[in-house]
Amino acid sequence: MTGKAPAAQTTTNSCGELAPERIIQQQFKRAEQHLSGLDSGLLEVLLPARRTITVNIPVELDDGQIRTFVGYRVLHNRLLGPGKGGIRFHPDVSLSEVSALAALMTWKCALLRIPFGGAKGGIACSPKQLSQRELRRVTRRFVSELGDNIGPYTDIPAPDLYTDSQTMAWIYDTYDALHPGENNLPVVTGKPMAMGGSEGRSEATGRGAVLAAERLLSLGAVPQLSSLDGARVAIQGYGEVGRVAARLLHERGASVIAVSDSRGGVLASNGDRLDLDQLNAQKAETGTLVGVAETRTITNADLLALDCDLLIPAALGGQIHAGNAQAVNARVIVEGANRPVTPEADDILTKRGILVLPDILANAGGVTVSYYEWVQNIEHHSWPLEDINGRLRARINNATDRVVARWRAFASDQDNGERCTDLRTAALVEALERLTSVLEQRGVWP
């Protein structure tokens, strides 16, 4: 499978610090302090998931043995529209993690003003240890177990960690076989182009991260760094997101000086920019980044501590925590992954003057272009790549403008006892205000 490649887990002194539900609850409570005049009961509606599903997935392996996997699908909220969120395959997938990621999707869609609610799914498995046939069986059985809990107008999956367009093709084909005679193309996004996929979808998350960072700098949020031209960048995670971001950064004049994956990382000799062509060839041939000419080998911990302008964690969650936040030497952290910075680390970074461009903005490119794919499937029409990239840029720019404006307003508010000085809280307040406004207008049924 070719989904996002995780970087090696970094250590932490507190297991509780990295608990997914704890991170989400803390972020929510921080934003709640800045939502004045709202009924606390309305806010309580927005935190818990609307529906959680756990299924057992018995599958016959290639050697004839029967093995049962556990899968999850969480629909967090449908205030703005159908549930939307990826399906990930990873040994560490849990209901707690999936629930937290579903909440992030709700906030992400609200911030980007996309008419979707939040959802997420996953299967606890080791995809690298399963054959293509076994992965296909696991996927198809998972879809059949979910039944009508997914659908084009109810809950729409997409690719995520270690899933890709092939996985989405299996999901579509299985769902379509169980629902004949309907237009089922919108049931899943991130499909192959030949099956109704969208131009630009595979690059959307990495492109969105670069666009958000570019806009942030152009707004003067970082002193003496007004553009990506000349910026020094380190990227943790060299899967789909990291690769695309690296290429687009180089096109804009930035220098990617270091990258890493689950097997280690490389730093350009003498601080020069990496040769991405050599890097990609090395990765394709050997499966690792280590060994590229004119580089030296570094660990993921080394990469997080590099002196750079932008640090892009594009791997797993919890990579920057209380145990290593003091070592970070970037001016801006762009969250290409979900939840890479813990609340405790957020506090440390904010006090040190390091900006964190939050995940619900920085990696929203994927769900944005997924929305465009969904619309194209409903309309039985396809949009050109230039149109899609232009729409993506406009939506990311608009969201970044609103977040920065709110951040600046909060930071200058002398009457604000709990002054907001971080972009994450500003983004969450922006998202939650939209959700509470819709909830007030719709009311609570009955």
Whether the CB-CB separation of 7 and 261 falls below 8 Å is answered with yes
Residue ranges of E strands in 13-63: 51-60
Buried b (16+ CB within 10 A) or exposed e, 389-399: bebbbebbbeb
The amino acid at residue 133 is R
Helix %, strand %, coil % of the chain (to 5): 45, 20, 35
CA nearest neighbour of 263 among 246, 239, 294: 239
Sign of CA dihedral 421, 422, 423, 428: negative
Q: Which helix (H) or strand (E) holds 235?
A: strand 232-236
**Residue 267 in 3-state DSSP?**
strand
Q: Are strands 155-156 and 51-60 parallel, antiparallel or unpaired?
A: unpaired
120 a catalytic residue: yes
Q: How far is CA 17 from CA 54, 66, 213, in A?
A: 25, 37, 27
> Exactly one of 4, 84, 120, 283 is catalytic; which is it?
120
Whether the CB-CB separation of 202 and 240 falls below 8 Å is answered with yes
Q: Which residues contact 274 (CB under 8 A, 6 or more apart)?
A: 246, 256, 257, 258, 259, 266, 268, 292, 295
Burial of 131 (0-12, 13-18, 19+ CB in 10 A): exposed
**Catalytic annotation, residues:** 120
